[in-house]
Amino acid sequence: MCQTALHPFLEALPKCEHHMHIEGSLEPELLFELAAKNGIALPAPSAGEGGDPAYASIDALRKRYEAFTGLDDFLGYYYIAMSALVDAADFERLGLAYFRKAAAQNVRHAEVFFDPQAHSVRGVKLSTVVEGIQAARERAERELGITSVLIMCVLRHLPPAEGVALFEEARDAGYFSGMLGGIGLDSSEKPFPPALWTELYGAAKAAGVRRTAHAGEEGPAQYIVDSLDMLDAQRIDHGLRSVLAGDERVTEALLERLVEQKIMLTLCPLSNVRLRCLESVRDFPLRKLLDRGVRFSINSDDPAYFGGYILENYCALQDAFGLSVREWESIAKGAVMGSWCSDRRKAEIFMEIEAVAGEWSVGLGDQ
Ligand code: HPA
Ligand code: ZN
């Protein structure tokens, strides 16, 4: 909760989320429960070979999540935790737990990533994962009024040919005609440049499938440029390096292009701090994004690992930057416009935002 008068407004504000890895919402409580149910051995809580004291208890694991040294350190824990997910009911439970939290924070539309290759290496089929998450999405829409899009991510630390094979499997199963709404690219960023993924993205484009890609999280701004040029990515996940001071020759032209082509950055401030891409939320380039007119949304990335869901990210920014109701209204509307939902759904959420912002700008004197 932020310490400002705007907190109840931020809670009430209708939100769209576009950068959330469903496996990254696996809270330690559910992780230990599912591991016990499925007979999955987590690392022994001893300091010796193969052991890790972080697995001694839920509290110890949470504490360890506060001390990531970078993306790869986090990913080690992320992949171990998801080994507890085995059957479709596990994925449905995971999805529902996320959608319920999101609904409580007034998320109205969520675009959710999943990592099928991290499951297929353990013998869990693509169909098991997709069907489990689909069941959760249907319940979320029916019971919570949240619409969603499911985005299949390819792991960039695995051979590109395996990513292409996964895409073809999903395409040939007909998943892109309803259950899946796009592809993405995640996992370790360096040293896996966008150029490795031209075949995958070319196949997706040829099949009329939407494309996003993680870029410029730990990697250079040039990876963002290359994701646009070589992969024809339609939005960029993180893209933080396009707005941070660095190589201005790249970032100035890139920023102009992002603005002109209305390419959305899906940004994740608490993730950036936990993974040490930023020293503190105060270093998040929020003012520059607003001043330059970049389209962006604020997201939770891996909420079970990074200290909060979408509202905690909004609150952290409010504590650091003290925005007005009208500035938040414009951020929330920008997120709607960058969403991969129908125009009709966008119009509905737009009206909900206007109603909430109208009400609160009167109550708070547009502070
Ligand atoms: N970056 C890259 N890959 C990921 C992340 C992230 O923040 N979260 C889950 N997979
Ligand atoms: Zn991510």
pLDDT digits (tens, 9 = 90+) for 318-343: 999 999 999 999 999 999 999 999 99
The SS3 call for residue 263 is: coil
Q: Is 92 near ligand 1, meaning CB less than 6 Å away?
A: no
For residue 271, the ligand closest to its alpha carbon is 1
Ligand 1 pocket mutation pick from 79, 217, 240 by most atoms within 8 angstroms of CB? 217
Per-residue burial over 145-181, b if 16 or more Cβ lie within 10 Å, else e, is ebbbbbbbbbbbeeebeebbebbeebbeeebbeebbb
Q: Say whether 18 counts as a known binding-site residue.
A: no
Q: Say whether 301 counts as a known binding-site residue.
A: yes
Q: Is 21 near ligand 1, meaning CB less than 6 Å away?
A: yes
Q: Residue-wise pLDDT tens for the chain (367 aa)?
A: 777 789 999 999 999 999 999 999 999 999 999 999 999 999 999 888 889 999 999 999 999 999 999 999 999 999 999 999 999 999 999 999 999 999 999 999 999 999 999 999 999 999 999 999 999 999 999 999 999 999 999 999 999 999 999 999 999 999 999 999 999 999 999 999 999 999 999 999 999 999 999 999 999 999 999 999 999 999 999 999 999 987 788 889 999 999 999 999 999 999 999 999 999 999 999 999 999 999 999 999 999 999 999 999 999 999 999 999 999 999 999 999 999 999 999 999 999 999 999 999 876 665 5
Residue among 265, 186, 198, 184 at smallest CA distance from 229: 198
CA 66 from centroid of its chain's CA atoms:
19
Percent of the chain with pLDDT over 90: 93
Distance separating alpha carbons of residues 312 and 317, to the nearest angstrom = 9
pLDDT digits (tens, 9 = 90+) for 296-323: 999 999 999 999 999 999 999 999 999 9
pLDDT digits (tens, 9 = 90+) for 252-263: 999 999 999 999
Among the CATH numbers 3.40.640.10, 3.30.70.250, 3.20.20.140, 3.40.50.2000, which is that of 7-26+85-364?
A: 3.20.20.140
Q: Is 272 near ligand 1, meaning CB less than 6 Å away?
A: no
Distance separating alpha carbons of residues 108 and 147, to the nearest angstrom = 7
Ligand 1 pocket mutation pick from 68, 78, 115, 117 by most atoms within 8 angstroms of CB? 78
Q: Say whether 302 counts as a known binding-site residue.
A: yes
Q: What is the pTM of this model?
A: 0.97
- Helical spans, DSSP H, in the chain: 7-12, 28-38, 58-65, 71-82, 88-104, 117-120, 126-139, 160-172, 198-206, 221-229, 248-260, 269-274, 286-292, 303-306, 310-321, 325-337, 343-363
Is the N-terminal amide bond of 45 cis, ω within 30° of 0? no
Residue among 93, 97, 77 at smallest CA distance from 85: 93
- Cα of 185 vs centre of ligand 1, distance in Å, is 9
Q: Is 237 near ligand 1, meaning CB less than 6 Å away?
A: no
The SS3 call for residue 20 is: strand
Q: Is 271 near ligand 1, meaning CB less than 6 Å away?
A: yes
For residue 348, count other CB atoms closer than 10 A to its CB: 18
DSSP track, 167-230: HHHHHHTTTTTTT--EEEEES--TT--GGGGHHHHHHHHHTT--BEEEESSSS-HHHHHHHHHT
Radius of gyration of the chain (CA): 20
